[in-house]
Amino acid sequence: MGISVILIDDHPLFRKGLSYLIETSGEDIAVAGQFAAINDVLDWLRGGGKAEVALLDRNLRDEDGLALIPELRRCGIKVIMLTSAEEAHEIRQALQQGVDGYVLKTSEPAQIFQAISAVIQGAGLPHPPVLDENTQAKVLSDASNKLSSRETEIVGLVALGLSNKAMGKRLGLSDNTVRNHLRSILEKLGLDNRVQVATFALKHGIRSAGKPSGTV
Position 139 scores a pLDDT of: 64
Number of domains in the chain: 2
pTM above 0.75, yes or no: no
CATH of the domain at 203: 1.10.10.10
Asked if the structure places residue 136 within a domain, the reply is no
**Same domain as 9, residue 106:** yes
Nearest C-alpha neighbor of 158 from the set 123, 196, 111: 196
Position 136 scores a pLDDT of: 64
**Same domain as 199, residue 164:** yes
Question: Which 8-state DSSP code applies to residue 131?
Answer: E
pLDDT digits (tens, 9 = 90+) for 49-102: 999 999 999 989 878 999 999 999 999 999 999 988 777 678 778 878 888 888
Query: Three-class SS of residue 167?
Result: helix
Cα separation, 79 vs 84, in Å, equals 16
Cβ count near 81 (within 10 Å): 29
Domain extent, residue 177, equals 147-210
**Same domain as 155, residue 50:** no
**Same domain as 89, residue 33:** yes
Cα separation, 153 vs 161, in Å, equals 13
- Alpha-carbon torsion, ordered 184, 190, 191, 197, to 10 deg: -70
Position 203 scores a pLDDT of: 65
Position 163 scores a pLDDT of: 86
Asked if the structure places residue 33 within a domain, the reply is yes
Give 215's pLDDT tier (boundaries 50, 70, 90). Answer: very low
Mean pLDDT of 36-60: 95
Query: Three-class SS of residue 149?
Result: helix
**Same domain as 111, residue 165:** no
Asked if the structure places residue 99 within a domain, the reply is yes
* DSSP bridge partners of 78: 53
**Same domain as 126, residue 35:** yes
Position 172 scores a pLDDT of: 93
* DSSP bridge partners of 8: 35, 56
Asked if the structure places residue 96 within a domain, the reply is yes
Nearest C-alpha neighbor of 57 from the set 21, 85, 25: 85
